[in-house]
Every structure is written in structure tokens, then in C-alpha cells.
Amino acid sequence: MTFNKKQRYRFSEAPIWNIQRKYYEEEGTKAWNNDQVPQYITSNPMIATSYAEMIFGFLQDRANKENSSEPVMIVELGAGAGRLAFHVLSELCQLRDYAGTSLPSFCYIMTDLAINNVLAWREHPALQSFIAEGLLDFAQFDAVHDTVLNLVVSGTTISEGDLKQPLVIVANYFFDSIPQELIYVGDGRIYEADVFVEYPEHHGSLKPSELLDQISLHYEHRWAPEYEQETYPYRDVIVIYQEQLEDSHILFPVAGITCLERLNRLSQAAGFLLITADKGDHLLDNWKFAEPPELILHGSFSLTANYHAIGHVFERRGAMALFPPHHYKNINVGCILNMDKPQDYFNTRLAYRRCIERFGPDEFFSLKIGVDRNLDNMGLQQILSFWRLGGYDAEFFIQSTKRISSLLPDANDEEMQDILRGIQLMWSSYYVMEQRYDLALDAGLLLFEMEMYEDSKRFLEISMNQEQGEIISTVFYCLAVCCFELELYEDALRYVRKLLELEPDHEEALALLNQFELG
């Protein structure tokens, strides 16, 4: 590969960030097709339930405080495909209804840089009930520059000081994907690690994902005395790095911190609860002797989020930062209570302890990796237990149907009923992505094998009615049998005839037709 146009940039001003923006603006919700940009780890029902529990705890903590009659705004930064918001809202509403206690009202605001994503959420069928109830709104938001939230549904603008309640901020895989400074600590001095970017030939014709894959980055240190001056706004954390680190490259999240500061000013209460998950390190030791960063490519790219800096900055201002006491493996989930007397928010803190510290999304994902590898050796009770732990997630069901089917001959009635209940709960909280999958077909065929004909008929007809392409003959055959068993003979005959149109020599269909004619 031949490279040309070698140029030097400050890391936060390098062209990779504009390429990243262009990628998301062009792809919209298609960016998450085939998990090109990872979404499962941060958007599955289990992590959403953990978030809903913490938000519910926060609403409980706010119930008897000043301005408790005002709604609490929950702002998700970089809401992406929208799946996390849907699951959080679904669980939060269930907690609210189940508890039946007096709580502040709330409104979830999904935001993203890409306007195409905002427009797609506005029309998504799964979100319409939340919109109608006044629980959901949307805004295009540039985390690097914007200072207000222009809401799409209500048509209102939230500006500095407009809110009376503290803000809840949700930031999943967010801080690792927005511009960061890159500094180097050596001999007690602070340097900027500038980046040299080399482009491939004819790079103007490449798509953003192709360009990110082919550009080359090289780093060179430049002494940066501004970080060592007392006037530098985050001087306290820089001093820690100077005193305790050596020969270390540090991604410094100025854009992330200033974004939180701007959002903080939207509230008269001048406070926020941040719930965040990322590939991010909150332990100082993990930044010792750190090498220059490498772009983790997945259509776009991501880096490591510096939770140590974010937590330290706000803790110096009186906040309480909660991160797991153990080392994370796949995803680090943190909670920052940036408000007056954060220790008083005991319901929020208890929810974090219960849903993150004790067993959280990181542990769940580690288990899932093991389950995926051993699924063909698992028993039905093990599969059902993990499915239940994951909140009856559709993705796990899709990959498990073949194994479940093989175990049905030995399943008892109770296990059959639990499978049916799981399918019903899964369907009630299913969020259709841009890349569609015929979940109803899988559910209907499995229920047919279980001889649950009424439920099988329901799902197979959903599949048939939503299928845009050619309907497979098996669907008509199963529907014919379901209708026959349910004594819906006219419907059964109709499905038999549709099947014979596709396969005139289908023996089972001919036998069924013969039964009708004899009857």
C-alpha cells in the first residue's frame, strides 16, 4: 500500500474524528447491522434492567426533596440504534407500576449526533406508546459543541437553568468515541502526543470505514507547559499523573468532561447522575506505562475511556464516583452522583451495589461468552435459567432455538410452560433493529413442535403478515395443522391450498386435503 499526504495534528483535532462523524451520519441506524458497531454488550435487557434499577432508586431518592413535583429528565448520549432506551423505559415503567409509590415524573430524551437516527427513533413502532404517554422525546445533540437540547416531540428547548430537578445522564460506549486529548508523562513533565496521519492513495473515493482501516498513525511528543500551569482547569488530576506515572500515554477526556459540565448547567439544582459503561479504566494503575493508543475498528473506531480523570474531576467538586472494586473484563460500569450531599442518595447507591458491584453487566457478558461456547452441551434448565437471567433476550433465543428443539422430546410440561412464558415476555419487549430478523417464525415453529397450536398459529401468522419476501412452505403446512387441531377447518383448508400452490406434490398437504374431502 502506498501512502501520501503525511500531516501532523494535535490528537483531539486529527481528521479521524471527522471521519468518525461522517461514518455515523452516513450510516444512521444501519451502523449496527451485523453487529458492525457492537450493540449487544451495552444494549441487552440485562444491562438495561441494571440502569432502570439505578434510575428508579434515584427517583425514590428525589421523591421527598425540593422540586420533587417537577419531572426528572433522563438524557441518553449517543443513543445509537435505540435498543437500550427501549429496554430501560420498559423496565422503568414496570418498576414504577409494580411499586405503586409516589415518585417524580420522568421523561427519557434520546440524543445522537446523526439526525437520521433521531428521525428513525421518532417513527419506530416500539417507541410510540412511550411517546404517547409523554415519557419519551428526542434531540439531535453534538456532545462537543451543543449547549441546549431542542426536543423533537414537544418542540421545546431546554437551555441553561431551565430544569429544576438534577439531570440523569446515560452514556454507553460514548466517552470512548468522542475526541480526547493524548498526553504523555515523562520525567515529571507533560507532553502532548501529536499524531502524524498518513493517507492511502486515492483516499477521497473511500468510505469512512475503509479510510479508517487504511490510514496510518504515528506519534511524536511535544512539551505542553499549559497542562502544568495552575490556571489549567483540570490541574489537580494532571498533578497526580505527574507524580505517580512515568513513561505513560494518557487519553485525557476534556471533551467528555466539558460535555458533562454543559449538561450540568441545564439544571438549577446544578447536579446530575451519570450512569455510564465503556471500555474504560478508573484505576490509576491501568494507565501506568501505557503505550500510544490503537484504534479499535468496528466500522467506526473506539479507544479507552479515562474514567479515572472523569471521576477525579467531579469528586474534587463534591461528587461521589462509584466503580466496581474488582477489575472489569469486557465493560466497566460506573455511576457518578454529582450533586449536593451524594451520600443521601442511598437508594441509588444500593441499586448500584445490587446491580453492578455484586453481579453486573460485565459478569453477565463473561458468562454469555462461556454459554455461547458450550450451548450444544447445555440442558434445558440451564438454557432457561440463563435466558431468564438475561431478561428473556431475543438474541439469545435466536441462537438457542436449535438446541432447545433438540431437547424438547425429554421436556416436561412445566418446562414447556416456561418456554411459552419466556417467548411471550420476549415478544412483549422485542425491539426491531434496522437489520430485521424473523423472530416470530422461530417462536412459531418451536411452539408447533411443542404442540401448542394456538400460540404457534399466532406467531406464524405474525411472521406471514410481516414477511416481505417469499413465505416458506413450512409455514403454510404448520398453520394448516394448527387450524385443523383447533377445529378451524376453513382456515386449515385455505392454508393447505396455499401450500399446494407452492408444492403441488407435498405429500402431507395432499393427505390433509384428502381428509377434508372425505370429511
Reading the block at residue 426, the C-alpha cell is 420476549
pLDDT digits (tens, 9 = 90+) for 344-370: 999 999 999 999 999 999 999 999 999
Q: Is 68 left (phi over 0), alpha (psi -120 to 50) or beta?
A: alpha
Mean pLDDT, range 5-16, rounded to an integer: 86
Res 1: pLDDT = 44
Residue 275 pairs with which residues in a beta bridge?
A: 170, 335
Measuring CA to CA, which residue among 209, 178, 182, 207 is closest to residue 193? 182
Contact 377, 339 (CB under 8 A): no
How many CA atoms lie within 13 Å of 466's alpha carbon, on the beta-carbon side? 13
Reading the block at residue 437, the C-alpha cell is 430478523
CA separation for the pair 334, 311 (Å, rounded): 9
pLDDT band at 204 (very low <50, low <70, confident <90, very high): confident
E strands, 113-225, where? 136-140, 149-150, 157-158, 167-172, 181-186, 189-200, 216-223
Measuring CA to CA, which residue among 53, 45, 89 is closest to residue 390? 45
Res 433: pLDDT = 74
Look up the pTM and report it.
Answer: 0.92
pLDDT digits (tens, 9 = 90+) for 84-127: 999 999 999 999 999 988 899 999 999 999 899 999 999 999 99
Handedness of CA 252, 258, 169, 340 (dihedral sign): positive
Residue 301 pairs with which residues in a beta bridge?
A: 297
E strands, 235-290, where? 248-252, 272-278, 280-281
Mean pLDDT, range 284-312, rounded to an integer: 88
